Amino acid sequence: MSRHPYLTMKRMVGKAVHRYGMISDGDKIAVGLSGGKDSLSLMWILTERLSRIPISYELFAIYVDPGFPGSDIARLESYCRDMNYNLAVEHSDFGIRAHSDENTENPCFLCSRLRRKRLFEVAAKLGCDKLALGHHKDDIIETLFMNMCYGGSISTMVPSQSLFNGAFTIIRPLSYVDEDTIRRFALQNDFPVFHNACPSEKTSKRHEMKKMLTELYKINRKIKGNIFRSLSHINTDYLL
C-alpha cells in the first residue's frame, strides 16, 4: 500500500480519465458534491489537475440538500468559498419523502434517483454536459454484489456512461481508487468532516454489503483486486 495517497490518487485518476476519455479540452463539468470524503477528494483532485495538464476545463460543484434537519450546508458553503469552488446549492425534500410512509421503495434508491435527476437539471442550466460523481472502486464492487443479491442481475456502475443519446455523460474519475486511499488522502489534506443527517446511513443495504465484503477481503488481500479485474474479464460461455 502506498504511503503517499496523493501519488496514488494522481496516478489512478489519470489512468481512469485517459482510459475512458472522460475529460476533453473546454469541458464544463458539474461535480456532485455531498460533503463526504469521496466527493471532496474528487473536487480537489480535478481542480489540482488543471495546474499540470495541457488542457483546460471548468468545474461547477452542485450540492442537492435532501432536506434532513441538522445538515451542514452553511459550513459546506463556507468551505467551498475558501477553496474558490463554484458551488450551487439545491434545496429539496427528497430524503424526507424517501423515508416517509408514502414511499414503498427502498429509501436510498428513491432518494438517490431524485437527487440524480436534480443534478442533471442543474448541470444543464449551468451549461454542463458532463457530471462527475465520487464513486470509487469499492462502490463499484459493492454495487455489483447488491445488483446480484437484490436485483438478480450481473451489473454495476461504469467509469463513463453516455446518456440521453449522447447529450450527457456521467464520469467517475475515482473508479480505480480504493476507498482506503481516499480516506488517507482526505486526512492528509485535512478535509472538514460534515455531518450526515440521513437516518439510513448505518442501516442501508450498501452499508451491510460493505461489512460483508470487508470480512471477505480479510481472507486474502488479493480478493478485492481480483473481483474488480473480473469485471473486465467476463466469460459469457460460462454464464446462463
Q: What pLDDT, in 10s, does the model give residues 144-156? A: 999 999 999 999 9
Q: What pLDDT, in 10s, does the model give residues 78-114? A: 999 999 999 999 999 888 988 888 877 788 888 899 9
Residues 130-155 have a mean pLDDT of: 97
Number of domains in the chain: 1
Per-residue pLDDT, 132: 98
> CATH number, domain at 154?
3.40.50.620
The fraction of the chain above a pLDDT of 70, given in percent, is 99
Residues 131-140 have a mean pLDDT of: 98
Q: What pLDDT, in 10s, does the model give residues 182-204? A: 999 999 999 998 878 888 877 78
Q: Is pLDDT of 117 > 50?
A: yes
For 61, the 3-state DSSP assignment is strand
From residue 222, alpha-carbon distances to 45, 216, 217, 218 in Å are 27, 10, 8, 9
Q: Is pLDDT of 2 > 60?
A: no
- Supply the range of the domain harboring residue 204: 5-238
Contacts of 70 (CB under 8 A, 6+ apart): 195, 197
Per-residue pLDDT, 1: 47
Per-residue pLDDT, 3: 66
Q: Is pLDDT of 167 > 50?
A: yes
Q: What pLDDT, in 10s, does the model give residues 39-73? A: 999 999 999 999 999 999 999 999 999 988 878 89
From residue 218, alpha-carbon distances to 119, 202, 211, 213 in Å are 37, 21, 11, 9
